[in-house]
Structure 1
Amino acid sequence: MSSEYRTGREGEFTYRGHTLDELQEMELEDVAELLPARQRRTITRGLGVQQLKLLEDARESTEEETANDPLRTHVRDMPVLPEFVGLTFAVYDGHEFERVRVEPEMIGHYLGEFHLTRNSVEHGQAGLGATRSSKFVPLK
């Protein structure tokens, strides 16, 4: 079995039977029918004002522009659409903006899924005085 990642016909990316070029030429409503239920519901009920602004900004920008200066956004709940592929977004996590380059495999997910808001915590060893029992540990 080959270790390289292949999808669709001849290694070409497909999403639910459609190539990336076909997806990018489709209308938003047609793409919504292919997305998972939660993302489909988000689009059919109508995108919010901020989501529409982000979609408009993404349509106006090109891959070269966003590579140097990514589209900054606080909108973490925007579904990744085929027209976003190749663009770079700076997604806010509550502390800083993190670059997220949209790949074809991200279609159908949310922007916020690719930059987590919480960091993992690794606690060190407890020192003297950290607990009540450590008060009675002989020092030497």
Structure 2
Amino acid sequence: MSEGEYRTGREGEFTFRGHTLDELQDMSLDEVAELLPARQRRTIERGLSAQQEKLLAEAREATEEETANDPIRTHLRNMPVLPEFVGLTFAVYNGQSFDRVYVEPEMLGHYLGEFQLTRQQVEHGQAGIGATRSSKFVPLK
């Protein structure tokens, strides 16, 4: 494994770049930013937007109130997954609906939108009767 990937220790304990989840949750946002990949680190160093700050505040409030089962609705697909988010459920908007994303420790350093697909898989119909070039397309009616 490369240096930036997570590992489970011999005891099965989660670590991210040599730090346990408890250590990560006790760190400040700037200390956590130093451990994140470059793009996520740059997002935090340049300053979170007002909406991202609000989402972070909602997540901190939810962990304090132990309401981790209620999903936090958000359109912010570009929010990096931070240690405060672990164990919470987010309802991330995919362009049509809000779908639930349960944040696990392995998601640290990624974005919320990576875990909620925006495009559906294409399912093609079958060819028409005879399947010649002129009859390949099945009429709708």
Task: Place the TM-score, normalised by the shorter chain, in its bin.
Answer: 0.7 to 0.9
Kindly state the Cα deviation for residue 131 of structure 1 after the two structures are TM-superposed.
Answer: 8.3
Kindly state the Cα deviation for residue 103 of structure 1 after the two structures are TM-superposed.
Answer: 0.3
Amino acid at match of 1:87: L
Kindly state the Cα deviation for residue 66 of structure 1 after the two structures are TM-superposed.
Answer: 3.1
Normalising by structure 2, we get a TM-score of: 0.84
**CA distance in structure 2 between the aligned counterparts of 1:64 and 1:53, rounded to whole angstroms:** 18
Gaps of 5+ in 1: 1-5, 136-140
**CA distance in structure 2 between the aligned counterparts of 1:9 and 1:52, rounded to whole angstroms:** 36
Q: Which residue of 2 aligns with 1:65?
A: 67
**Which SS does the other structure have where 2:90 is aligned?**
strand
Does 40-49 or 55-64 show the bigger shift? 55-64
**Which SS does the other structure have where 2:43 is aligned?**
helix
The equivalences for 1:24-103 within 5 A come to: 24-62=25-63, 64-67=66-69, 69-103=70-104
- The percent identity for this pair of structures is 78
Q: Which residue of 1 aligns with 2:139?
A: none
Gaps of 5+ in 2: 1-6, 137-141
Kindly state the Cα deviation for residue 15 of structure 1 after the two structures are TM-superposed.
Answer: 0.2
Larger radius of gyration: 1
Identify, as 1 or 2, the structure richer in helix: 1
Structure 1 residue ranges, 4+ long, deviating more than 2 angstroms after superposition:
none
